Amino acid sequence: MGIIIYALGFRDYSLEHGQQIIIQKHITKEEYDSHNTSLGEAHKISAMDNVHNLLIRNGNEFLSYSSKAKDYLKVDEKVVYLEANRLLINYLAAVSMFIDYGEKYNSKYFGKERMKKFQEKTSVFYDSHVSYRFIALMRNYALHYGFPLSVIHQSESGPNGIFASRETLMKFKAWKHAAEDIKNMSELIPLDIHVEISMMFIKQLYQDYIYEIAPTVLKGIEYLNDLIINNGGKIPVLATFKSIEELKKGNLSVNVIDAQSFYEALKIIKNHPSIEIIER
């Protein structure tokens, strides 16, 4: 294995030379790894934010379509049946994905104890709230049994739209704790209210995660800001190369810091209802 030289620098542009990587100083591997760690903090927010945004989008798309289903039914019932179920199943998948991400990232960044606390929160929601429990288990129904929305109802009086059927749902034997809930529901079950309520609980889980991770991410943002100031406003880069001769030939590996991810992370933290940031 050959020697690897580690360096810190910045990217610059000039009319004469175009884009250039300016090496400021050589650093040790330990310093290189430390820089990478500190400059990677923003990603601790981005993954959870992305999956939460996906969940919100999927939920809102279903709710929007469902609210207009009675009008769409006048055109084509089969289209409504397929589209409403597609949108609902997308939402159910996002709920499951969010819970999996929550467990993964709480464990990865905080340890198993924090992951257990996250699981305890989801368990409290599951045990205490019908809608959360119903939606959490609906994914299994859609995956292993059938489309959740099975009844199209149109009449002069009464509800109009597409609904879940209590009788059909109860044919599925893996409802666990939601079985009694479903028995107490109406024969035609609108899913909209359960989607809306479950979205509120997921939002709380998301905001709890952002609140806990914010101090770590803010340290990363301050770290990047100091590097940018020291570089005269230029975005820092981390580089590795085998020798000075190879560097002169342009043979180097460059890690350009994604400053945009830090700006987005800061925006997410600022939008949190329980966090106030005072900028100086």
Per residue in 89-125, pLDDT (tens digit) is 999 999 999 999 999 999 998 899 989 999 999 999 9
Task: For residue 188, report the phi and psi dihedrals to the nearest 5 degrees.
Answer: -100, 115
CA 167 – CA 164 distance, rounded (Å): 9
What is the tens place of the pLDDT at every residue in 219-260? Answer: 988 888 888 888 888 888 899 999 888 888 888 898 888 888
Task: Write down the pLDDT at residue 2.
Answer: 65
Beta bridge partners of 163: 151
Check whether 14 has a pLDDT greater than 80: no
Q: Considering the entire predicted model, what is its pTM?
A: 0.86
Lowest mean pLDDT among 160-164, 185-189, 203-207: 160-164
| Average pLDDT value for residue range 29-55 | 90
Q: Is the model's pLDDT at 191 over the cut of 90?
A: yes
Residues 117-126: contacts with CB under 8 Å, at least 24 apart: 118/205, 118/208, 118/209, 121/205, 121/208, 122/205, 125/201, 126/177
